[in-house]
């Protein structure tokens, strides 16, 4: 491999991972993380340390269908070498889907306009034997239509204090919710949700509230009531991480990154979270 000195370049990756065996995205001492696995793999290909930045950190047990990552390097490698070589060094639970050179001032986190998460609930009497950590199991009947109706109260710019973790470190509880769709596919209930950014445990807390409504334990109006009280202690349980996926990140066209088709639902004036 050519080790000639070159100007620093920024490389962008799309990453898929099963988070069930990791303590989350972010590097933690003495615990397995997706970041550590990726940095170790890329460092072997570069033959020097590589540090990566991601579009959005995921918690322990949370998965990604398409996490977006960038890193800077002065080492010259063919783009296929980063992908094929990186995948050869990664564990089976983490894979690089695509590799591109960064355009302009691209930053995986700060250039993002919106994130899209998918939460999958297996709604049947028996747990899954094949995907026990890839779906949240619920053995009592859920009304997906009521869940969808209740979710629409969360659209727009709101103080989501009732839906943030007690230890959330964000300076502001305000976020702009672009869309939430809840629907049934056979024995699965799926929630697709997009915002300019998310608070700690926000998606899982919303899922927990909607599941309580879908089960008939709370009225459809509960989501609207919770927004008004701004009190996490009144908002029920946090849903498990098993069914949660970072499913896509939206970037302006200038960066040349193909966006998930679901982002066609975004409003034309959608802006980055500051």
Tracing tokens 């303590």 back to the chain, one arrives at 23
Q: Is 43 exposed, middle or buried (0-12, 13-18, 19+ CB in 10 A)?
A: middle
Q: Which of 18, 59, 192, 242 is catalytic?
A: 59
Tracing tokens 């995986």 back to the chain, one arrives at 108
Strands 174-185 and 9-17, by their bridges, are: unpaired
For CA atoms 251, 252, 254, 259, give the dihedral sign.
positive
Cβ proximity of 152 and 164 under 8 Å: no
Torsion-angle region of 24 (φ positive above 0: left; ψ -120 to 50: alpha; else: beta): left
Cα 267 from Cα 260, distance rounded (Å):
15
Q: Is-catalytic flag, 192?
A: no
Picking from 153, 154, 193, 160, the residue whose alpha carbon sits closest to that of residue 175 is 160
Cβ proximity of 33 and 101 under 8 Å: no
User: Residue 174 forms beta bridges with which residues?
Assistant: 159
Cα 69 from Cα 12, distance rounded (Å):
6
> 221-241: string of b/e by CB count within 10 Å (b at 16+)?
ebbeebbeebebeebbebbbb
Catalytic residue list: 59
């Amino acid at each position: 491999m050519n080790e000639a000195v070159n100007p620093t370049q920024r490389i962008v990756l799309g990453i898929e991972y099963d988070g069930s065996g990791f303590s989350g995205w972010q590097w933690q001492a003495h615990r397995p993380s997706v970041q550590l696995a990726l940095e170790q793999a890329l460092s072997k290909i570069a033959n020097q340390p590589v540090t990566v930045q991601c579009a959005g950190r995921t918690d322990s047990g949370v998965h990604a269908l398409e996490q977006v990552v960038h890193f800077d390097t002065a080492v010259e490698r063919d783009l296929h070498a980063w992908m094929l070589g990186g995948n050869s060094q990664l564990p089976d639970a983490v894979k690089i889907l695509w590799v591109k050179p960064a355009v302009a001032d691209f930053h995986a986190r700060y250039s993002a306009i919106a994130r899209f998460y998918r939460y999958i609930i297996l709604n049947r009497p028996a747990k899954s034997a094949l995907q026990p950590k890839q779906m949240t199991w619920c053995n009592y009947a859920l009304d997906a239509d009521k869940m969808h109706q209740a979710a629409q109260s969360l659209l727009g710019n709101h103080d989501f204090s009732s839906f943030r973790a007690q230890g959330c470190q964000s300076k502001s509880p305000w976020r702009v919710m672009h869309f939430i769709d809840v629907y049934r596919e056979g024995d699965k209930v799926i929630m697709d949700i997009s915002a300019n950014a998310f608070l700690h445990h926000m998606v899982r807390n919303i899922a927990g509230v909607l599941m309580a409504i879908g089960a008939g334990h709370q009225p459809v109006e509960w989501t609207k009531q919770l927004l008004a009280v701004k009190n996490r202690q009144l908002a029920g349980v946090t849903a498990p991480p098993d069914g949660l996926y970072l499913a896509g990140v939206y970037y302006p066209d200038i960066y040349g990154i193909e966006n998930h088709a679901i982002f066609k639902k975004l409003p034309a004036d959608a802006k980055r979270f500051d």
